[in-house]
Chain A
Amino acid sequence: MLCEICGKSQATVHYTEIINNESSETHLCEDCARKKGAMLKPHFPLADLLSGLIDFNLPLTLEDKGRGKCPQCGLTYSDFKKIGRLGCGQCYDTFKESLAPLLKRVHGSNEHVGKSSALAGKAMQEATLQLRELQERLQKAIQREEFEEAARLRDRIREIEKKTRKSAASE
């Protein structure tokens, strides 16, 4: 079979188009198919599906402009809306307010429960151990009625807790 466009080369690309329930078959050679764009998208990346979820292609709002720029890679939220990809790990922190609802919509969850990076695990373990030790010392201080020391320990515990919560939210 010859190509329907140039009528010279052998047709090797065959595709069926269905428009309003009417299907039509097209037979093209590789060159014409490439020109027509029939071969350009052999696969459909999942990322493209995101467009439905991230309000892509809508005019930029003032709010978008207020979302700032990632300090590490310079990506803006409107860049993200255009390409559907973030620029670096830091972007997740920069745009966390917008990403949290998006991730929730895509995955139905906002909390990672799988494998953890050993590095992150270690830091967390250290913080937990330190907290446990401080809490024990606090108990003892209270028993001994050393309230000044107890207050100091309480403040340190609060500080560490605040820090781990923050890094959990932003890392």
Chain B
Amino acid sequence: MKLNDLVCQTSEWLKGTGPNSEMVMSSRVRLARNLTEIPFAHRARRDKQLAVMSLVRPAIESTKILKTSFFVDLSELNSLDRQFLLERHLISHELAEGKGVRGVVIGEREMVSIMVNEEDHLRIQCIQSGLQLMDAWRLIDRIESELDAKLKFAFSRNWGYLTACPTNAGTGMRASVMLHLPSLVLTKQIGKVLQAITKLGLVARGLYGEGTEPSGNYFQISNQVTLGQSEEEIIDNIERVIKQIIGHEENARKALLGKGKRQLEDRVFRAYGILKNVRVIDSNETINLLSALRLGVDLGLTKDVSRRTLNELFIITQPAHLQKLHGKTLTPGQRDMKRAELIREKLSGK
């Protein structure tokens, strides 16, 4: 398997199934690990970075789950390919924009990926569809244990796994859930919900400051604390909070279906109408219209489109994906046209 094969593949986490998938797009768990006695990636000279790579790659490739994985050398990629991996959530901004010896190991169906020489030597991540944090953790726990038997991780009894940034020390774990909360945004309750989240030691991302709507009503909620709580406690805590938010979103959806059903339908079918007929469209408008249509699909207002198709569109209408699909670089103007074409095609193909 190679990077270009990913273009025609749909990642496992986009299939739109799993618990609470009508509001939870995906669950992600990542672990940060560093090798002992080698400086962290940002402080390691080239020979040390190479040493990390040569120690880590065989260890990763011999784990059960990553036997069939493939490796992508980031230092050999052009900016389009780096952007492409970023849009697929396989790598981070830091890895995409970084320098030096670095890469990513991508597992089957893109469920697991391991970044090497990002901020930490290893960033192991697992993404699954729907609310499945505990499952994602169990999978990643198994991989980590196999790696732990082969590599020597920097670990202290007091402070757990030692990471480049002290905000990750301890479990080195960040668990996050991507939520789609259009009704809480429409009913203007989202601010209150997000404020409550921070009081519970969680962070919401996808927001650009108070009072602004994030793109597509998607919110990523994750733990902030990594020291003093076990992995299971952290996940349990997030899942409880997520379930409450889901409950609020459900209530808001019911309220909208009750009093404002016509307005809601209008919103959904206008979005659907535009998407089916659009000729030029930018990513921002795309994401907002897809969000409105998704709400309609989730509420059963329309059965013509599957959640999977919407999730897929969410990913492949991004700039680098459009260009990879067309096999050449496109100007923003050309992209807006190609994007429109792709959306029409996908929505008519069902």
Answer whether A and B are interacting partners: yes
Near A by CB (< 8 A), chain B positions 221-253 give 224-231
| A88–B43 CB distance below 8 A | yes
Residue of chain B at shortest CB distance from A119:
B152
Provide the residues of chain A in CB contact with B231, threshold 8 Å: 114-115
Answer yes or no: A158 CB below 8 A from chain B CBs.
no
Answer yes or no: A85 CB below 8 A from chain B CBs.
yes
| A169–B167 CB distance below 8 A | no
Task: Give A46 to B224 CA distance when docked, in angstroms.
Answer: 9
Residue-wise, chain A 18-57 has the 8 Å CB interface mask toward B (1 for contact) of 1000000000011000000000001111110110000000
| B93–A102 CB distance below 8 A | no
Provide the residues of chain B in CB contact with A118, threshold 8 Å: 145, 148-149
Task: Give A110 to B144 CA distance when docked, in angstroms.
Answer: 23
| A14–B171 CB distance below 8 A | no
| A171–B156 CB distance below 8 A | yes
| B229–A114 CB distance below 8 A | yes
Contact of A110 among B43, B149, B227 (CB under 8 A): B227
Task: Give A47 to B137 CA distance when docked, in angstroms.
Answer: 23
Answer yes or no: A61 CB below 8 A from chain B CBs.
no
Contact of B165 among A85, A111, A114 (CB under 8 A): A85
In the assembled complex, the CB of A110 is this many whole angstroms from the nearest CB of chain B, namely 7
| A107–B148 CB distance below 8 A | no
Answer yes or no: B179 CB below 8 A from chain A CBs.
no
| A87–B203 CB distance below 8 A | no
Task: Give A14 to B333 CA distance when docked, in angstroms.
Answer: 15
Near A by CB (< 8 A), chain B positions 195-211 give 201, 203, 205, 208-209, 211
Which of B33-41, B65-73, B291-299, B308-316 is the interface stretch?
A: B33-41
In the assembled complex, the CB of B139 is this many whole angstroms from the nearest CB of chain A, namely 14
Most buried by A among B163, B164, B209: B164
| A92–B159 CB distance below 8 A | yes
In the assembled complex, the CB of B47 is this many whole angstroms from the nearest CB of chain A, namely 14
Most buried by B among A42, A44, A73, A112: A112
Answer yes or no: B18 CB below 8 A from chain A CBs.
no
Answer yes or no: B161 CB below 8 A from chain A CBs.
yes
Task: Give A138 to B164 CA distance when docked, in angstroms.
Answer: 44
Provide the residues of chain B in CB contact with A170, threshold 8 Å: 156
Provide the residues of chain B in CB contact with A130, threshold 8 Å: none
| A10–B157 CB distance below 8 A | no
Answer yes or no: B160 CB below 8 A from chain A CBs.
yes
Task: Give A113 to B159 CA distance when docked, in angstroms.
Answer: 9
Task: Give A38 to B152 CA distance when docked, in angstroms.
Answer: 41
Task: Give A109 to B37 CA distance when docked, in angstroms.
Answer: 26
Residue of chain B at shortest CB distance from A87:
B43
Answer yes or no: A16 CB below 8 A from chain B CBs.
yes
Answer yes or no: A108 CB below 8 A from chain B CBs.
yes
Near B by CB (< 8 A), chain A positions 99-130 give 99, 102-103, 106-120, 124
Provide the residues of chain A in CB contact with B331, threshold 8 Å: 10
| B171–A114 CB distance below 8 A | yes
| B228–A112 CB distance below 8 A | yes
Task: Give A95 to B205 CA distance when docked, in angstroms.
Answer: 31
Contact of A92 among B148, B156, B226 (CB under 8 A): B156
Task: Give A84 to B165 CA distance when docked, in angstroms.
Answer: 7
Residue of chain A at shortest CB distance from B161:
A117
Indicate whether A89 sits within 8 Å of B227 (C-beta atoms), given known contacts A42-B93, A117-B153, A168-B157: no
Near A by CB (< 8 A), chain B positions 331-350 give 331-333, 336
Provide the residues of chain B in CB contact with A115, threshold 8 Å: 141, 144, 171, 230-231
Provide the residues of chain B in CB contact with A99, threshold 8 Å: 166
Residue-wise, chain B 23-42 has the 8 Å CB interface mask toward A (1 for contact) of 00000000000101111101
Known: A86-B166, A119-B153. 13 other contacts (CB 8 A): A10-B336, A18-B211, A47-B167, A49-B167, A86-B162, A86-B165, A88-B38, A93-B156, A106-B227, A112-B228, A114-B170, A115-B141, A118-B145
- B residues near A (Cβ < 8 Å) are 34, 36-40, 42-43, 93-94, 119, 141, 144-145, 148-149, 152-167, 169-171, 173, 201, 203, 205, 208-209, 211-212, 224-231, 282, 284, 331-333, 336
